A = this chain, B = another copy of it.
Amino acid sequence: MTSKPDSPDQKPSFIEAVRRAQITECAIECIAEIGYVNASLAKIAKRADISTGVISYHFASKDDLIRAVIAHVMDTAVAYIQPRIDWSNPRAALRSGIEAVVAYYAAHRDYSLALLKINLAGGAGTPTEPYDPEIQERRQRVMREILAQGQEDGSFRPFDIGVMVAAIFGAFDTVPRKVAADPPVDLPAYGRELAELFDRATRAD
């Protein structure tokens, strides 16, 4: 749905895939480092040591590239986080989920930083919406499920799920800035702190 071959889905051709991956990676680094605004195709190309035309050759537009970036980040995030969630009960799921996200952010600082910056750059035109609202939805879906389950089985108190999810992801968005902070932050501890924080914020009684 992203790329250029209009003859629907032939074969992405090995080198094509490699190039796209390389460009996507460089774009992520660029955005993380200098911001979404300043990450021009020229700068991304220079970082990849290719000509700008190459990017246009492999991606239909800058928007197409950005969507590839988002997709890549989301995919790796899901792959990393999903198996780390302990589904034995909602409280455990929440704690492990939060810690997994922080761990992922710690492991892929550029990825999460890039995603954050893209999401807040402004997007289509509507002032309040992030780059792609559907992306936000996908990000939050699992967390929403955990909270709903916990309220159902009585392990969580009756709070507004939308507010809680927003707060949790608001907290997540602070992580990238901490990753390379000086002095360095103990990220596993950061994750545990957040887990404790939201466990207390959500649990019954």
Contact = CB atoms under 8 A, between A and B. Distances in A.
A120 interface: yes
A189 to B, nearest CB: 7
Contacts of A180: 127-128
Interface of A is mostly: helix
Interface string A107-130: 000000100110011110101111
A127 B33 contact: yes
This protein's copies in its complex: 4
Interface string A139-158: 00000000000000000000
Interface string A185-198: 10001100110111
Interface string A163-175: 1101101111110
Nearest to A49: B7
Contacts of A181: 128
A127 B32 contact: yes
Specify which of A35, A127, A160, A167 lies most central, judged by the most chain B CB atoms within 10 Å of its CB. A127
Contacts of A37: 36-37, 121-122
Contacts of A58: none
A177 interface: yes
A169 to B, nearest CB: 7
Interface residues on chain A, size class? 35 or more
A99 to B, nearest CB: 13
Given A121-B37, A171-B166, A159 B127 contact: no
B197 A129 contact: no
Given A34-B125, A113-B127, A122-B36, A171 B177 contact: no
Contact of A120 (B121, B171, B193, B197): B121
Interface of A: 32-38, 113, 116-117, 120-123, 125, 127-130, 159-160, 162-164, 166-167, 169-174, 176-181, 185, 189-190, 193-194, 196-198, 200-201
